[in-house]
């Protein structure tokens, strides 16, 4: 048993599945729920990209949750994303409770187009659903040479404020991406809480307890299992709380939604909001000088003496790039129970599974 960057790994409990194995199964599952083929393809691409870049908590393993949310009426598989207001630099969108991956893709595409023409593109997306991993959307902008930021607010107040063990803000997601000429991009993706709830659920699948200092139960006592955990410590104390507050505002009331403390129902019953920003480098600085400055700084950082000899100094995005190379060639690792859940749900829907 090994644990890397808080993600558990144990080959004896896992199966590796390729993109070619996953794609037709997941797409057909969504189409069986009346989703248009185009939208199903977009959603599945985002899920698979999430897994390929090493975020197993927010990728394909969540598809059963999305289908259950469709059965409850919380996700509309045929919803159309609406533009409510638009200027040269911003768009306000209503996701119409469509699956978050489709709505968020449309949002970052709008932000990207506006940034290319005006230097800055901002999109506020409300009435949506969870988008999976925030970083896959900033990657879409980075691939076109833009700097991008994504904030996402899903669910109620499950992260504590300083001086309390009660939930005050949401476990918001924050991601950014910076393109690097002739190199892998700078990609950062994190929850504002001490961990994501998805990571804690994954630990349980591998038979591992929640590490100390992460979560509390309903009485404020330390929680070591997902069954008793109700509230998370903020990442970095006041820093995580402050960042989550910003995400809760921008991907909340500014996106025509609610602050997390006002959300009392299940995550899928309450809508999610997302906030995107994209910046075209050439509108701010000379791109060549920009890249030269970053490349030189990053080389110096990598050359710093490591605290442990076998752990080289890394930059945001290094680990995800390594995962992408590994999983693209050798298949994506899934816990056996997750693969079985997907297979069972697919077969219930009349979709053939070959693994």
Residue ranges and CATH numbers for the domains of the chain are: 2-289+316-348 (3.30.1370.60)
Per-residue pLDDT at 3: 36
CB atoms within 10 A of CB 214: 21
Give the predicted TM-score (pTM) of the model: 0.96
pLDDT digits (tens, 9 = 90+) for 248-259: 999 999 999 999
C-alpha to C-alpha distance for 39 and 294, rounded to whole angstroms:
37
308 DSSP assignment: B
Which residue is listed with tokens 């069954």?
227
Instruction: Find out whether 108 and 150 touch, Cβ atoms under 8 Å.
Output: yes
Six token digits for residue 101 = 């991956």
pLDDT digits (tens, 9 = 90+) for 172-204: 999 999 999 989 999 999 999 999 999 999 999
77-134 pLDDT per residue, tens = 999 999 999 999 999 999 999 999 999 999 999 999 999 999 999 999 999 999 999 9
SS3 84: strand
Contact 27, 347 (CB under 8 A): no
Q: Residue 221 and residue 225: Cα distance in Å, rounded?
A: 12
Around 316, how many Cα atoms within 13 Å sit in the side-chain half-sphere? 13
pLDDT at 227 exceeding the cut of 70: yes
Instruction: Tell me, letter by letter, the H, E, C secondary structure of 31-59.
Output: HHCCCCHHHHHHHHHHHHHHHHCCCCCCC
Is residue 135 helix, strand or coil?
Answer: helix
Question: Residues with Cβ < 8 Å from 134, sequence gap 6 or more?
Answer: 150, 151, 152, 173, 174, 175, 189, 274
Local structure of 190: helix, strand or coil = strand
The candidate with the shortest Cα–Cα distance to 101, out of 167, 184, 43, 144, is: 43
Specify whether the CB–CB gap between 271 and 128 falls below 8 A: yes
Cα dihedral angle (85, 90, 91, 92), rounded to 10 degrees? Answer: -70
User: What are the tokens at 59?
Assistant: 């990728």
Give 64: exposed, middle or buried? Use CB within 10 Å, 0-12, 13-18, 19+: middle
Pairing relation of β-strands 90-94 and 120-128? parallel
> What's the whole-number average pLDDT of the chain?
96
pLDDT at 5: 44
277 token code pair: 């920003």
User: Residues 12-35: pLDDT tens digits?
Assistant: 999 999 999 999 999 999 999 999
- In the three-class reduction of DSSP (H, G, I as helix; E, B as strand; rest coil), residue 8 is classed as strand
What strands, in cross-sheet order, belong to the sheet with 231-232?
Answer: 167-169, 159-160, 231-232, 215-216, 222-223
Query: Tens digits of per-residue pLDDT, 259-310?
Result: 999 999 998 889 899 999 999 999 999 999 999 999 999 999 999 999 998 8
Q: How far is CA 186 from CA 28, 179, 180, 229, in A?
A: 34, 6, 7, 33
Residue 40 to residue 295: CA distance in whole angstroms:
38
Query: Running DSSP on this structure, what letter comes out for residue 233?
Result: P
Query: What band does 164 get if pLDDT is binned at 50, 70 and 90?
Result: very high
* Residues 244, 151 contacting (CB under 8 angstroms): no
């Amino acid at each position: 048993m090994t644990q890397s960057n808080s993600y558990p790994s144990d080959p004896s409990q896992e199966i590796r599945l390729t993109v070619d194995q996953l794609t037709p199964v997941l797409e057909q599952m969504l189409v069986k729920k009346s989703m248009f083929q185009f939208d199903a393809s977009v959603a599945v691409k985002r899920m698979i990209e999430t897994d390929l870049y090493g975020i197993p908590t927010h990728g394909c393993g969540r598809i059963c949750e999305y289908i259950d949310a469709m059965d409850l009426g919380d996700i509309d598989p045929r919803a159309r994303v609406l533009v409510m207001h638009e200027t040269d630099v911003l768009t306000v969108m209503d996701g119409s409770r469509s699956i978050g991956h489709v709505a968020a893709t449309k949002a970052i595409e709008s932000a990207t187009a506006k940034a290319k023409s005006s230097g800055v593109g901002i999109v506020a997306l409300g009435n949506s659903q969870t988008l999976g991993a925030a970083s896959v959307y900033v990657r879409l902008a980075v691939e076109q040479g833009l700097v991008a930021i994504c904030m996402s607010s899903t669910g109620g107040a499950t992260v504590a404020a300083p001086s309390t063990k009660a939930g005050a803000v949401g476990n918001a997601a924050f991601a950014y991406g910076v393109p690097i000429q002739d190199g892998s991009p700078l990609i950062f993706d994190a929850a504002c809480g001490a961990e994501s709830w998805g990571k804690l659920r994954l630990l349980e699948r591998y038979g591992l307890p929640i590490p100390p200092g992460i979560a509390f139960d309903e009485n404020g006592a330390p929680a070591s299992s997902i069954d008793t955990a109700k509230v998370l410590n903020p990442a970095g104390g006041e820093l995580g709380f402050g960042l989550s507050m910003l995400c809760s505002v921008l991907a909340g009331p500014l996106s025509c939604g609610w602050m997390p403390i006002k959300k009392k129902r299940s995550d899928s019953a309450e809508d999610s909001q997302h906030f995107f920003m994209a910046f075209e480098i050439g509108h701010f600085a000379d791109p060549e000088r920009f890249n030269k400055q970053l490349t030189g700084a990053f080389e110096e950082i990598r050359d710093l003496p490591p605290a442990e000899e076998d752990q080289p100094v890394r930059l945001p995005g290094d680990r995800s790039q390594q995962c992408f190379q590994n999983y693209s060639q050798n298949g994506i690792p899934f816990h056996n129970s997750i693969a079985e859940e997907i297979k069972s749900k697919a077969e219930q829907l009349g979709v053939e599974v070959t693994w």
